């Protein structure tokens, strides 16, 4: 991996981690497009740069998390189903889901179609989505975690699953987006820790690779910080249809490309 490739992957991570488009999907296909060898270091790199995106969440919402104990309890409840499923299926997720292009592409396009159909139905029925996070019950918090657990398949999108589940509960777009940001903290940190523990113990990192990690980390952090601020404003005035269309178009392009041949 070259420095410019690390920089691009960091940008991809920062751009996609909190948008309902699946950052894992984008990182996997971006790595293939850039012709980066699928080594143990690449896997570690992809895990490590997620911490840059997570730092952006702490930068914006750390104070609120520190003072709102009720919010923290709800996040923990939402995290539990994901933690259980992620732990039990870790080997399948890494050795099958992450290596199967047709599955990832199918999930990517299918969720895009679901976004479009849901928003059209929402508009037709004129359902209200104006509740706040403080209105969430403990059982609803658990259901959100079950919804997020569906994102173990790359292409589904962790944030997309959370936002869609919460909107179905009547939560406003802004509150759903914010909760998806906060829920990323325990979810991504625990997944990263599990991945690191699963790495070969004899894997060493060179000084050049440390530079690559830092480039990816800081580019992910800066871009994620910008995206977090932008997305909250965007989602209040727009629907998920935009992301649904993006998913369908990109998915169809990739299906026709050499990446899946």
Closest CA to 215 of 57, 56, 52, 60: 52
The reported pLDDT for the residue numbered 199 is 63
Question: What is the rounded distance in angstroms from the CA atom of residue 63 to the CA atom of residue 172?
Answer: 22
Dihedral sign for Cα atoms in the order 174, 108, 221, 219: negative
Q: Would you tell me the crossing angle of helices 138-149 and 173-198 to the nearest 10 degrees?
A: 60
Per-residue confidence (pLDDT) for residue 100, from 0 to 100: 79
Domain that holds residue 153: 3-260
DSSP letter at 75 equals H
- Tell me: the pLDDT tens digits for 85-140? 877 876 777 677 777 788 889 999 999 999 999 999 988 887 788 899 999 999 99
Q: Which of helix, strand or coil describes residue 131?
A: strand
* Per-residue model confidence (pLDDT) at position 209: 85
pLDDT range class, residue 200, cuts 50, 70, 90: low
Task: State yes or no: pLDDT of 203 exceeds 70.
Answer: no
The number of domains in the chain is 1
- More confident: 191 or 18: 18
Partner residues linked to 171 by β-bridges = 131
């Amino acid at each position: 991996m070259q420095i410019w490739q690390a920089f691009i992957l960091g940008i991809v991570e920062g751009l996609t981690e909190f948008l309902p488009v699946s950052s894992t999907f984008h990182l996997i296909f971006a790595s293939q497009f850039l012709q980066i060898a699928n080594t143990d270091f690449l896997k570690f790199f992809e895990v490590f740069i997620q911490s840059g995106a997570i730092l952006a969440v702490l930068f914006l919402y750390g104070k609120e998390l520190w003072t709102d104990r009720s919010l923290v309890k709800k996040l923990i409840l939402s995290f539990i189903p994901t933690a259980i499923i992620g732990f039990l299926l870790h080997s399948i997720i890494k050795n099958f889901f992450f290596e199967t292009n047709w599955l990832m592409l199918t999930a990517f396009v299918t969720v895009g179609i679901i976004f479009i159909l849901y928003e059209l139905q929402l508009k037709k029925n004129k359902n209200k989505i104006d509740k706040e996070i403080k209105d969430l019950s403990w059982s609803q918090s658990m259901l959100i975690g079950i919804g997020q657990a569906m994102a173990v398949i790359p292409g589904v999108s962790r944030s997309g699953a959370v936002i869609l589940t919460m909107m179905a509960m009547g939560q406003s777009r802004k509150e759903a987006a914010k909760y998806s940001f906060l829920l990323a903290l325990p979810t991504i940190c625990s997944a990263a820790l599990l991945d690191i523990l699963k790495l070969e113990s004899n894997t060493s990192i060179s000084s050049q690779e440390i530079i690559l990690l830092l480039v990816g980390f800081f580019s992910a952090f800066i871009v994620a910080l910008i995206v977090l601020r932008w997305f909250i404003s965007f989602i209040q005035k727009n629907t998920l249809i935009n992301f649904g269309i993006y998913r369908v178009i990109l998915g169809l392009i990739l299906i026709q490309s050499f990446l899946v041949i």
